Copies of this chain bind each other. A is one copy, B any other.
Amino acid sequence: MSYASRKLAEEKVFKDPVHRYIHIRDQIIWDLIGTKEFQRLRRIKQLGTTYLVFHGAEHSRFNHSLGVYEIVRRIIDDTFKGRPEWDESERIVVLCAALLHDLGHGPFSHAFEKVFGTDHEQFTQAILTGETEVNAVLRKAGEDFPQKVADVIAKTYPDKLVVSLISSQIDADRMDYLQRDAYFTGVSYGHFDMERILRVMRPREDQVVFKYSGMHAVEDYIMSRYQMYWQVYFHPVSRSAEVILTKILQRAKELNGTGYQFKREPDHFKSFFCHEETLEDYIALDESIMFTYFQEWMKEEDFILADLCDRFVNRKLFQYINFDPAKEYRKLSELEQLFKKAGINPEYYLVVDSSSDLPYDFYRPGEEEERLPIHLLMPNNDLRELSRSSDVVDAISGKRRTDHKLYFPEDVLTEDGKKKTLKKQILSVLRGE
């Protein structure tokens, strides 16, 4: 029997708080979990800085990756199995893609990519096809197998039905993270009837569709997603931590460029500073490494780097106000001047952050961010786009919602000491008094 279809002698299970159990029946899945690139996901938090607001959110991407795998497994083994539209020979490639779709995520990806211009999706591709333990396992299933898995994740795979299981407006990835993040944060949003959604999924030529009878469950999923974005993912306090993190990395890069003598040299980052990082450099990074630098950099002579590291490690975050960059650019400019006068570098201490989400979109061919809509399978076998049947979804469909905040260190502005008048003035401007 070929390696790709080899079953374990006995099914393995992982106890999972969200899906009760994760079931592993295939040798290749078991082997992939054991690779060092996959184990590395244990050292990267699923929600980055969110744990600084919701203290339960300490779960890793390892957790989530198993969850996505399990959902896809249930879809194809329970719901799709035996249906003529489903090609059983795609089973292993999609299970591998589900398990490995986040493999290229680094520590605090968002901030990291902003400063260093890296792209976790490219690294996922590189890990799958480069010289890695993951690649060695995948190759046992066929020389072209690593590339097939990579194509599913990159959405370039020819079978679009397979792609849509992992990447669509209602895919296994989203269904897992909404429930998982809700579970670990403890918020009451994020719940929807996944059991029902799984039952009403039907394979079609180029996408998964949903029986009309399950429309309300799909509607509920869209609303859960919407709530999770604004309640959890875009929480202004965790964005404050992310702003600081971004500024730490930016400062380190800047200092390195100016020839600053670090007490603890940024060895792990140097190739990133000049954009010459290798795959090996990238894989070597995880949150442990990052935190170790931040802790050591708290003792650096450069005040800004040391201060920002102290803020991040010891959770002394920036405060924020609502801020409309389009209308209030003069205010920003005034504040920058005042900050400079007060001896506070605005580049690092006065930061605009914008978060934006499009909860659901119908199909707008050719437009940027073109997204395949969710289709309902009507009783007469026609397909109908979701927002045409659902008032609630229609209401938020295609409407991008954006939130801008201006972050600053309130503690510095309110502390006693010199430049008190100037600081008072800054606070007045900030508070719009």
Contacts and interface: CB of A to CB of B under 8 A. Distances in A.
B186 A20 contact: yes
A17 interface: yes
Nearest to A394: B395
A189 B316 CA distance: 37
B55 A58 contact: no
A220 B34 CA distance: 32
Interface in A283-305: 284, 286-292, 295
A91 interface: no
Kindly report how many copies of this chain are found in the complex they form together: 4
A131 interface: no
A15 B60 contact: no
Contact of A17 (B183, B192, B193, B292): B183
A275 to B, nearest CB: 23
Given A55-B14, A59-B58, A288-B288, A223 B315 contact: no
A17 B291 contact: no
B392 A186 contact: no
A219 interface: yes
Given A59-B56, A288-B295, A187 B193 contact: yes
A295 B289 contact: yes
A44 to B, nearest CB: 11
Interface in A5-33: 13-18, 20-21
Interface stretch (A35-43, A82-90, A150-158, A334-342): A35-43
A58 to B, nearest CB: 5
Interface stretch (A117-125, A225-233, A419-427): A225-233
B220 A189 contact: yes
A399 interface: yes
Nearest to A54: B15
A58 B61 CA distance: 11
A199 interface: yes
B191 A188 contact: yes
A313 interface: yes
Nearest to A43: B291
A264 to B, nearest CB: 11
A200 B288 CA distance: 38
Interface residues of A, number: 65
Contact of A391 (B39, B43, B192, B401): B401
Interface in A174-233: 183-189, 191-193, 195-196, 199, 216-217, 219-220, 223, 226-227, 230-231
A17 B18 CA distance: 13
Contacts of A14: 55
B60 A66 contact: no
B216 A227 contact: yes
Interface string A57-71: 011101100100000
Contact of A60 (B58, B223, B288, B391): B58
Given A58-B63, A230-B216, A39 B395 contact: no
Contact of A195 (B18, B21, B284): B21
A51 interface: yes
Contacts of A36: 313-314
A358 to B, nearest CB: 12
A396 interface: yes
A20 B195 contact: yes
A55 B51 contact: no
B286 A291 contact: yes
A423 B99 CA distance: 35
- Which 7 pairs across A and B sit closest by C-beta, in order of nearness? A395-B395, A17-B186, A288-B291, A188-B193, A292-B292, A36-B314, A288-B288
Given A42-B51, A292-B292, 6 more contacts: A16-B56, A58-B58, A58-B59, A189-B220, A219-B227, A223-B392
6 contacts: A13-B199, A15-B56, A39-B315, A43-B291, A188-B196, A392-B396
